[in-house]
Chains A and B, each alone.
Chain A
Amino acid sequence: MPTDTDAPITPANLVKQPGDQTYVSRAITIDRSRDVLYAFWRDPKNLQRLMDNVERIDVVDERRSHWVVKGPAGADIEWDSLIVEDDPGRRIAWRAEEGAQVANRGWVEFRDGPPGRGTEVHALIEYDAPGGVLGRLIAKLFQREPNTQTRRELRRFKQLMETGEITTSEGPRGAGRHEKEEA
């Protein structure tokens, strides 16, 4: 993977695809202190609550965690993630360990917003999918979805930190076919 973890933030939402790499960058402002947000993010077990496609995150040691993600066609994708930078209250950077099926790395930073405006959370995630048929399926999951997934994960992070809940509209519905969407 060519980039280093200090790569400058790309314009919000930009997904660049030079070759097989995908970058997602995204920011959200949360009305909680840097320390509170950092502490939540530093424990990989917490992240599972924010993520749709994560089956399981096992904490291996202080810096290592094992990730199991729902892959294409029912196959799980697994890798070990290593925290490579840890600046309490400010920044966490990680990368998948050598040999991961889907090479990935990323960082999250917590920056003070303007006075009284909470903490800006900036995240950058990079994926590098393998070639071949499986590679294309994984790319579909990891290169098109990350934008959506990252957006939703940061929204859930904000919801949980600000309100104590993850917002849901799950509820009663009539007998209509749900996929019959109007307009």
Chain B
Amino acid sequence: MRALTWHGKHDVRVETVDDPKIINPRDLILKVTATAICGSDLHIYDSFIPSMMAGDVLGHEFMGEVVEVGPALRGEGDNAPLKVGDRVVVPFNIACGNCRPCKTGQFSGCDNSIPAEKGDISEVAYGHAVSGIFDYSHMTGGYAGGQAEYVRVPYGDVGPVKVPDGLTDEQVLFLSDIFPTGWMAAENCGIEAGDTIAVWGCGPVGQFAIRSALLQGAAKVIAIDHHANRLAMAKAAGAEVLNYHEVKVREALMELTGGRGPDACIDAVGMEAHGFSPDNIADAAKAAVRLATDRTHALREVIMACRKGGHVSVPGVYGGVTDKFPVGAFMEKGLTMKTGQTHTQKYMKQLLELIQLGQIDPTFVISHRLPLEEAAQGYRLFKDNQDEVTKVVLRP
């Protein structure tokens, strides 16, 4: 089959690789009909994610048609969890559904979805082995991703969600990651009536966080970025917008909230924060020589801006260590921070209903459509023109 593979910094190629096979009883094989490039794929493209290996198949946002199921999924008639021919969208993270984290809805904390021999890296780096994620380095399992014609999906009875007739691929594709990620980011704000939510980063996750916060009852959402198109997209959703090239963000937020500060702040930027503040330049220099891996400017600003007793929600991806974390502000203001890879499986069906009800149309985020064969160009476009490119959908 044809698949997009990673070979090093800014080097991804579409090449011919072996077709995936059913290995375990609960596996299924999906014929991919649509897949997207995620902002977090850019962290891989930029070589910010350790433990990638040349030849890894990329892509963790995908959907398609079931073409083969493992023996454990071959139930009779209606008892079959999934059937060949079913159209499904697949969560980016892999969860077994059996362990205690899964049973309590903490799917991204799944104990079992990382192969035993791949769990050592994260056990050393994070204190615990993390769960599996499609494509996202060998630290998260080394699973082949879905920017390919076919993909093997482990625990096919847990993750994939059937798509009702009448919905297009593009309407449901983002249930795989960014819509649930934005939704959980808003949920982690503990939104109450009258709340103002500030969102750093108007990329795809930020866009879904903005819309989710409003759907969850926020009185006001303030969106922060420097890309004009992305700010316009946020404004169209009903957010007030701040361009950090034009205003001092903290001062502007204080004015917009009567001096209180936002009730909750979302860091939808993550480890590759842009900007020319002294701390960010220091982080960039350190990251370049690998003294520190993560540039955390956005997170610092979030903590400084958030009101006393407020919530800090971090959907932005971080992978390593940082310094100059404003722990004093965090403690003295009594902030609550919630973060984590998304418990995608917990949200997909609920959000599918919102799409069916017409309360949100996720296709707003798509800016480019390309055949899979031009995937490398898609990455380059996304990397080089983040103002214009919000979401690239690839078709095998």
By a beta-carbon cutoff of 8 Å, the part of chain A in contact with chain B is: 29, 31, 52, 117-118, 148, 151-153, 155-156, 158-159, 162-178, 180-183
Name B98-152 residues within 8 Å CB distance of A. 98-100, 103, 111-120, 123, 129, 132, 141-144, 148, 152
Give per-residue flags for B172-185: 1 if the beta carbon is below 8 A from chain A beta carbons, else 0.
00000000000000
Residue of B nearest to A52 (CB): B117
In the complex with contacts A174-B57, A176-B53, A163-B7 CB distance below 8 A: no
* Assembly CA distance A59 to B264 (angstroms): 62
A residues in contact with B289, CB < 8 Å: none
Other-chain residue from B15, B117, B141 in contact with A152 (beta carbon distance below 8 A): B117
> Are B144's CB and A171's CB within 8 A?
yes
Q: Contacts of A158 on B, CB cut-off 8 Å?
A: 99, 111-112
Of all chain A residues, the one with the shortest Cβ separation from B152 is: A171
B167 within 8 A of partner (CB):
no
Across the interface, do A155 and B129 meet the contact criterion of CB distance under 8 Å?
yes
Is B342 positioned at the interface, with any CB of A under 8 Å from its CB? no
- A174 → B minimal CB distance (Å): 3
Nearest chain A CB to B100 CB, angstrom units: 6
Given A151-B120, A174-B3, A176-B54; A159-B112 close (CB under 8 Å): yes
Given A162-B111, A164-B25, A172:B117 Cβ within 8 A: no
- Tell yes or no: B360 within 8 A of A by CB: no
B113→A175 contact, CB < 8 A: no
Contact between A148 and B5, CB atoms less than 8 A apart: no
Q: Is B369 an interface residue (CB 8 A)?
A: no
Q: Which residue of A lies closest to B15 (CB)?
A: A174
Mark B16-35 against chain A: 1 for CB-CB distance below 8 A, else 0. Answer: 01111101111000000000
Residues of the B chain whose Cβ atoms lie less than 8 Å from the Cβ of A183: 47, 49-52, 290
Q: List 15 A-B contacts (CB under 8 A).
A: A152-B117, A152-B119, A159-B116, A164-B72, A166-B116, A167-B96, A167-B115, A167-B132, A169-B132, A169-B144, A171-B144, A172-B57, A178-B54, A181-B53, A183-B290
Task: Select A175's contact among B15, B23, B100, B132, beta carbons within 8 Å.
Answer: B15
Interchain CB contact under 8 A, B5 and A174: yes
B396 to chain A, nearest CB (A): 14
How many contacts A-B (CB < 8 Å)? 139
- In the assembled complex, which residues on chain B have CB atoms less than 8 Å from the CB atom of A151? 116, 119-120, 123
**Does B55 count as interface, using CB distance less than 8 angstroms?**
yes
Q: Which chain A residues lie closer than 8 Å to B270 at the CB level?
A: none
What residue of chain A has the Cβ atom nearest to residue B49's Cβ?
A: A183
**A168-B24, A181-B53 given; A174·B17 CB < 8 A:** yes
**Which residues of B are found within 8 Å of A117, using beta-carbon distances?**
100
In the bound assembly, the distance between CA atoms of A14 and B139 in angstroms comes to 24
How far is it, in angstroms, between the C-alpha of A29 and the C-alpha of B101 when the chains are bound?
12
Known pairs A155-B119, A169-B132. 9 more at Cβ < 8 A? A52-B117, A151-B120, A152-B116, A167-B141, A168-B154, A169-B115, A173-B17, A174-B54, A175-B17
Does B383 make an interface contact (CB < 8 A)? Answer: no
Question: Whole-angstrom distance between the alpha carbons of A129 and B260 in the complex?
Answer: 67
A180 close to B54 (CB less than 8 A): yes
Measured CA separation A172–B129 after assembly (Å): 23
Q: Which A residues lie within 8 Å of B15 (CB)?
A: 174-175
| Distance of A170 from chain B, by nearest CB (Å) | 6
Q: Are B148 and A163 in contact (CB under 8 A)?
A: no
In the assembled complex, the CB of B313 is this many whole angstroms from the nearest CB of chain A, namely 28
Contacts of B13 in A (CB 8 A): 174
- A63 to B119 Cα, complex, angstroms: 33
In this assembly, does B155 line the interface, its C-beta being within 8 Å of a C-beta of chain A?
Answer: yes
Give the docked Cα–Cα distance between A67 and B53 (Å). 35
CB distance from A33 to the nearest CB of B (A): 14
Docked CA distance A117–B142 (Å): 29
Given A152-B117, A159-B116, A181-B53, A172 and B3 contact (CB-CB distance below 8 Å): yes
For A177, the chain B residues whose CB sits under 8 A away are 54-55
Known contacts A31-B100, A162-B96: does B52 contact A182 (CB below 8 Å)?
A: yes
* Cross-interface CB contact of A162 among B1, B112, B154, cutoff 8 Å: B112
| B53 and A163 form a contact (CB under 8 A) | no
Asked if B272 is at the interface (CB within 8 A of a chain A CB), the reply is no
- B50 A163 Cβ-Cβ under 8 A: no
Contacts of B155 in A (CB 8 A): 163
Contacts of B113 on A, CB cut-off 8 Å? 167
Using known A-B contacts A152-B117, A174-B56, determine if residue A163 contacts B98 with beta carbons closer than 8 Å: yes
The answer to whether residues A170 and B112 also contact, given A155-B119, A176-B55, A183-B47 and a CB cut-off of 8 A, is: no
Residues of B within 8 A of A167 (CB): 24, 96, 112-116, 132, 141, 154
